[in-house]
Amino acid sequence: MPKAETIAGGARQTFGQASHAAAKVVTSVAVKESIRVLLVDDHPLIREGIIAVIQGEAGIEVVGEASNGQEAIQLFRTLRPDVTLMDLQMPLMNGIETIKAIRDESPAARFIVLTTYQGDVQALRALKAGAAGYLLKNAIWKDLPDCIRTVHAGQRRIPPEVAAVLAEHVTDDHLTEREIQVLRRVALGTANKTIGAELSLSEATIKAHMKSILSKLGANDRTHAVTIAVQRGFLEG
């Protein structure tokens, strides 16, 4: 029998010897009328922990696992799950791109995003892509079953702390894609002149972008701008 040990209030889980291979169909005795769940996460231990939580719930079963977006698309086509649990940061294809790709084929598909990050930008991207639920991974152990049932019933589920951050920034001007490109390079310590050369822009244009970035983020300087951008999720994905 797998042995599970909860660490740091459930934020991290260590599980014993049992393991599940990624991108496989899980064989189990299905409960009649059960909610069929596809699990997508690139970390095997996280998948193990999620399965351990769901296995203790009547009426919910994990029917498949995937470790990246490409595997998730193929398994979704095969399994047609009721709800898909989707990590955001994955190799090959991130969670938001995967949600968009699946919903292009199956507009009624229902998703719950599982993430360690509560920044407003990532949450808004996920919700715009079509996610109906947004759950922080440190809350999986107590909130996931109810979240699955809520989303399966056609409702939305967003944690209060994430909803508060979204409301706080709802009227903010978002950074443009070019501004994010500039800020990514600033985060690496790149000088304006070099950034301009990399983006085929003049140094004066880069300075203008930085002025706009500081204003939109309410930042005092370049370092402060990077810190805020990381906290809010602009530089993720």
List, for residues 160-218, the tens digit of each pLDDT value. 888 888 887 776 778 888 999 999 999 999 999 999 999 999 999 999 999 999 998 88
Amino acid identity of 131?
A: A
State the DSSP code for 218: T
pLDDT of residue 166: 82
User: Residue 16: is its pLDDT beyond 60?
Assistant: no
- Per the model's pLDDT, the better-predicted residue between 106 and 33 turns out to be 106
Structural domains of the chain ordered from first start = 4-168 (3.40.50.2300), 177-232 (1.10.10.10)
Count how many residues are written for the chain: 237
pLDDT of residue 171: 65
* DSSP conformation letters of 137-187: GGGHHHHHHHHHHHHHTT--B--HHHHHHHHHTTTSPPPPHHHHHHHHHHH
Please provide the average confidence, as pLDDT, over all residues in the chain: 84
Among residues 116, 107, 22, the alpha carbon closest in space to that of 68 is found at: 22
215: CB partners within 8 A, 6+ apart:
none
Amino acid identity of 12?
A: R
State the DSSP code for 139: G
Token pair 């699946």: residue: 102
Amino acid identity of 35?
A: I
Asked if residues 40 and 112 have their Cβ atoms less than 8 Å apart, the reply is no
Asked if residues 233 and 118 have their Cβ atoms less than 8 Å apart, the reply is no
Asked if residues 76 and 68 have their Cβ atoms less than 8 Å apart, the reply is no
Average pLDDT for 99-103: 96
With vertex at residue 24, the alpha carbon angle to CA 26 and CA 102, rounded to the nearest 5 degrees, is 105
pLDDT of residue 32: 52
Amino acid identity of 60?
A: I
Taking the C-alpha atoms of residue 63 and residue 54, their distance in angstroms, rounded to an integer, is 11
Token pair 């920034």: residue: 169
Q: What is this structure's pTM?
A: 0.68
State the DSSP H helix or E strand holding residue 231, giving kind and residue range, or none if neither: helix 222-232
